[in-house]
Amino acid sequence: MKRIRNIIPILETLRTYNKSMLRHDFIAGITVATILVPQGLAYALLAGVPPIYGLYTAIVPLIVYAILGTSRQLAIGPVAISSLLVLSGVSSIATPGTDEFLGLVITAGLLIGFCQWLLGLVRLGFIANFISLPVITGFSSAAAVIILSTQLRDALGIVIPRFDSVFSRLGYTMEHLGETSFLTTVICGGAIAIMLILKAINKKIPGALFVIIIGLVLVYFFNLDEKGVDIIGVIPEGLPSFSIPDLSIGKIKQLIPVVLTVTTIGIVECVSIAKTLQAKHKDYDIDVDQELIAIGASKMVGAFFQSIPSSGSFSRSAINSSAGAKTTIAAFFTVGLISLTLIFLTPLFYYLPSAVLAAIILLAVVGLFDIKEVVHLWKTHKRDFLMMVVTFVCTLIFGIEEGVLIGVVISIASVLIKSSKPHVAILGKVPGTNEFRNIKRFEDAIEYESTVIVRFDEQLYFANAGYFKDKVSKIINIPKYAKLKYFVLDASNMHNIDSTGIKILHDITSMLKSRGIELHMCGVKGPVRDMLYKNQMLTEIEKHHMNINAAIDQLQTGKPIKNKGKALQTNFRR
């Protein structure tokens, strides 16, 4: 039974559910629904499909995730980033607004869900780690700029042709500012102002729902649709019907780029939000692979009920958490209110101004600009800051999919570059202690005339083996080590070694022996020690020691040498 509860987490939730949880979940579920209705309509338009599909996406995917998900507060549904990615990818195949485009979007959702579900099933959730935070920051900021540019038409009332380039779109808008609709701009600006004011008063007030109601009333009573204000028009009534997406081989091949892009970004979005919420509440654990199964299944099943690709929403998840959601049961109350809206209230949205939905999107994507993180990277991590800037610029210039791909490549390249030239430190004994530390950071550290102690802070493998050999060669040629007899390698931070590392270690041993120097190792970890045994390296290396002190106690270290160099001024010295 426990195994079944692990596969279907909601069973464990129901086993311990009580009235107190029900009350909190009800309030949270209804609160999220009041936000999800306007956002669902807006994000569907952002994805290039009729607004009703945003509400469809707030039904089945939420139910499936509530049954299978492990995060108690994560709110699933249409989100800005996924909508933009889908629009960008599918629009290169079909024209937005057409039946073909809509069919491809739904098929893409099924394929994205399958990929995420499969990754969770084979326990490959760790791939989310291949996109670093600086890359996510750069991509999100660029995506915000692109989304803002796509909303200029509805925000200003200017008829803007379709452009693939954000720069072309912005340029055309600047050239045709004289065509701006005064009423449309006032409605959009007023909606933003009202939402900001309500947010300042109380963040729990559903400002988006308020401006939708105000917009509907203004258009209806003042006939603003006859004065140039664009409205949504007819929205179908009723719940989504069952339909089978088009899974022809030709369509699947065309959708591969957008599927891979949204799959990767969706994993990062959902997992990072879920982990953030779990860290805040600390009363449950997140299973990353089960999360992938849940969000993947929610998309797959949702695609058969006319859902566009969904993902985790940070803003709605935060609202769900602050409103007191205790379990995923809250999602069922959200679904209930959305369902009632679809059955009874969709005709009311006929007079909804497009400018109001544009305002909702504009205000939502502002949060994608993480200025604090940008400033932090500039002050503390120049290389990561450069990585963020490159991702930002490449996404704007080359496009969404290309920007994500470049970001992934940059992330992996950054790891390889760092590990190919790892930190290597010469150690000395700190007076009055049994500690050995970097002589560049401890000016009074004591070395020994016939012994040098070197720490290698990385696994020894093909990418850095040559670098390590060069470092060893340079160290033994330093004049103060002219009487060197022992080279002690502190391997306490060396967690792995491959065949190339073994070969280099053999070469280093031979090089040292030719100079009359013995190689000793200390602090060798189990996996590395196993590899040394298998490759018979223990017969070449003079001896292994438990730690540096054990090595020093057994060696004729010679006269102490005091380090005369200046120590680095750091708070945390290694």
Q: Residue 79 above 60 pLDDT? A: yes
Mean pLDDT value of segment 138-144? 88
Mean pLDDT of 549-564: 71
Whole-number percent of the chain with pLDDT over 70 = 95
Quickly tell me which residue has 């106690």 as its tokens. Answer: 553
545/129: higher pLDDT: 545
Which residues lie across from 187 on neighbouring strands? Answer: none
Backbone angles phi and psi of 413, in degrees to 5: -60, -40
Secondary structure of residue 47 in the 3-state scheme: coil
Listed range (320-329, 367-376, 457-466) with the worst mean pLDDT: 367-376
- Residue 249: band (very low, low, confident or very high) from pLDDT cuts 50, 70, 90: very high
Predicted confidence at residue 561, as pLDDT, reads 63
Confidence (pLDDT) at 542: 66
| Strand 451-456 with 436-438, pairing | unpaired
Instruction: State the chain's mean pLDDT as an integer.
Output: 89
Alpha-carbon 215 to chain mean position = 35
Block residue for tokens 């792995």? 496
Question: Measuring CA to CA, how many Å separate 321 from each of 15, 275, 327, 402, 493?
Answer: 22, 13, 10, 34, 40
- What is the average pLDDT across 102-122? 95
For strand 446-448 and strand 436-438, is the pairing parallel, antiparallel, or unpaired?
A: unpaired
User: How many residues are given for the chain?
Assistant: 574
Q: Which of 8-22, 354-368, 479-493, 555-569 has the lowest mean pLDDT?
A: 555-569
**Mean pLDDT to the nearest integer, 362-389:** 87
Instruction: Read off the pLDDT band of 572 (50, 70, 90).
Output: very low
Residue pair 34/209 in contact by the 8 Å Cβ criterion:
yes
C-alpha dihedral sign at 223, 227, 231, 235: positive
Range of weakest confidence among 103-107, 195-199, 221-225, 534-538: 534-538
Angle (nearest 5°) at CA 307 between 360 and 25: 70
Q: What is the mean pLDDT of residues 258-284?
A: 85
Determine the pLDDT at residue 564.
53
330 versus 6: which is more confidently predicted? 330
Q: How many Cβ atoms are within 10 Å of 518's Cβ, its own excluded?
A: 17
pLDDT(225) > 60: yes
Question: What is the pairing mode between strands 543-545 and 518-522?
Answer: parallel
Query: C-alpha dihedral over 456, 458, 460, 463, to 10 degrees?
Result: -120
Residue 233 Ramachandran class (φ > 0 left, ψ -120 to 50 alpha, else beta): left
39-75, pLDDT tens digit by residue? 999 999 999 999 999 999 999 999 999 999 999 999 9
pLDDT digit string (tens) for 503-519?
999 999 999 999 999 99
Residue 567 has pLDDT above 60, yes or no: no
Q: Give residue 560's pLDDT band: very low, low, confident or very high (50, 70, 90).
A: low
Task: For residues 75 and 71, give the distance between their C-alpha atoms in angstroms, rounded to a whole number.
Answer: 9
DSSP code of residue 438: E
Q: Is the pLDDT of residue 302 over 60?
A: yes
- Report d(CA 95, CA 161) in Å as an integer: 12
Rounded CA gap, 94 and 374, in Å? Answer: 36
**Coil, helix or strand for 448?**
strand
pLDDT given for residue 414 in this prediction:
82
- Locate tokens 């990615």: which residue? 85
Residue 1 clears pLDDT 70, i.e. is over it:
no
Residues 138 and 153 sit within 8 Å (Cβ to Cβ): no
Is residue 563 a contact partner of residue 439, using CB atoms and an 8 Å limit? yes
Distance of CA 472 to the CA centre of its chain: 39
Name the residue among 520, 468, 524 with its Cα closest to residue 492.
524
Between helix 354-365 and helix 19-46 the angle, nearest 10°, is 110
Q: What is this structure's pTM?
A: 0.80
Q: Which residue has the tokens 């704007």?
A: 396
Phi–psi pair at 400, nearest 5 degrees: -65, -55
Least confident segment among 396-400, 412-416, 486-490, 567-571: 567-571
Cα–Cα dist 190/471, whole Å: 64
pLDDT at 568 over 50: no
What pLDDT score does 566 carry? Answer: 47
Mean pLDDT of 111-140: 85
Q: Which residue, 88, 116, 105, 65, is CA-closest to 243?
A: 105
- The pLDDT of residue 163 is 82
Kindly report, residue by residue over 145-171, the tens digit of the pLDDT.
998 998 999 999 998 888 878 899 999
pLDDT-based confidence at residue 371 (cuts at 50, 70, 90): confident
